[in-house]
Structures are given as C-alpha cells and as structure tokens.
Amino acid sequence: MMIGASPESDLQILRLSESLYEKYSLKRVYYSAYVSINNDSNLPSLDNPPLLRENRLYQADWLLRYYGFKAEELLDDTHPNFNNLLDPKCEWALRHLEYFPVDINKADFYTLLRIPGIGVTSAKRIISARRHFNLRFDQLKGLGIVLKRAIYFITCSGTYFNKASLLNPSFIETNILLQERKSIPIFDTGKQLSIFDNLIPTKEDTIKCISGNL
C-alpha cells in the first residue's frame, strides 16, 4: 500500500489490511511511504514522504498479526490516525487505562502481550519464571525485560512502582517520551529516578524535548 498518496486515514488502511488477513489469508501487507518521482501535475505532491506514518502502520500491522489486536481497538472514528510520538500499543494503553495495571504474576499470556514494552519473548520468560517464584521489579529486569514502558502499566503481586503516578496518563506519556529522548534507565542503584520524585514535566516540555529544543 502506498501511504500518503491518497486521503485514507490510518484506520481505513488498517481495516483493509485486517480484511485481507481474515478473508483472504494474506500472509503479509507491505506499506510504503509515497515519494513523488517527478513533477507531473497528475501525481500527488507531498513536501515530505510520510516515513514515520509508514513505520506506525508496520507496528500496528504486527499487533494485528501476532498480538491479537483488532483494527477497531487501535483506532476509531474519534482517533483515526496514529500518534507520531507514541507507538500504537502504548497509545492504545494510554487510551484504555481501565485494563491496567496488570499483575505480572497473574496475567495470562495474551494479557501480558498487551502491556507496552512486553513482547512475545518477554511474555514467555515471565510465565516460565513465575512458575517457581513471584516476580519483583528487579527480577523482571534480570530476565532481560525492558521496563521503560511496561513499568507504568504493571504491578508485582499488587505492588505498583510509584503510587503517586498510578495510571496518570499525562505523567506516563510525558516520562515515556523523555526516557526515549534521553535513554534514561528506570533503575539506578535500586532507587527511583529523581525526575519522578521532584518534577512532572509539562506536555510543552515534552514537545520541546522531542523536537530537540530542550
């Protein structure tokens, strides 16, 4: 599919992909950001190829094929296009906080897959390890699970890593974006980062940070 050459929304494109998978057992849909090859007036004209949009559609496509998501879960008529700043699963989670937090020691495999930052391999490791003992946050890191997203959406035996930020969508979104920008580790000598203790950045700060102005 050529992305950006015509006015379809991400939701319309994803619905079509889902239909191709379900009705025709198609193995793979490919997405390509439209690039104008010449100045012919009959061709659409775009200032910049929508490469980020292409990437978001690939990420969403993966969720359709391997994570059990439906197109209507990821997007709807109110939100017909993906967020440029967040990956589709993280964006979905922030819009559906009623499903969180998930107890890492109790959730089934497919529920674990819906946690931002946890993929198929991580979910399998969690299920295998918890057969022997209840997992703690530091043990999850020891299993090789990247917690910079997941930590905001999980508990370990009912314990949340920071009650002050419990399911606060603005706090979660802002700090995920800041961590990705600065590559900040979640664990620092076993203590929570001071950014969480002393300051919740504003959305304006986040936009400046992502754009390189902070």
pLDDT tens string 160-184 = 886 655 778 888 898 888 887 765 4
Q: Where are the alpha helices (DSSP H) in 27-155?
A: 51-66, 71-74, 88-95, 109-112, 120-129, 137-142, 147-150
pLDDT tens profile 133-158: 999 998 998 888 888 889 999 999 98
DSSP classification of residue 8: -
Pairing of strands 32-33, 102-103: unpaired
**Domains of the chain by residue range:** 2-82, 94-210
Residue 117: predicted pLDDT: 92
Closest CA to 91 of 202, 209, 10, 4: 10
**CA atoms within 13 A of residue 37's CA, in its CB half-sphere:** 0
Residue 22, Cβ density class (10 Å: 0-12 exposed, 13-18 middle, ≥19 buried): exposed
d(CA 181, CA 201): 13
Provide mean pLDDT across the span 1-12: 95
Residue 38: predicted pLDDT: 80
What's the pTM?
0.80
> Mean pLDDT for the chain?
84
d(CA 143, CA 108): 18
Asked whether the CA dihedral 118, 123, 127, 129 is positive or negative, the reply is negative
Q: Name residue 168's amino acid.
A: N
Distance, CA of 204 to chain centre: 21
Distance, CA of 144 to chain centre: 18
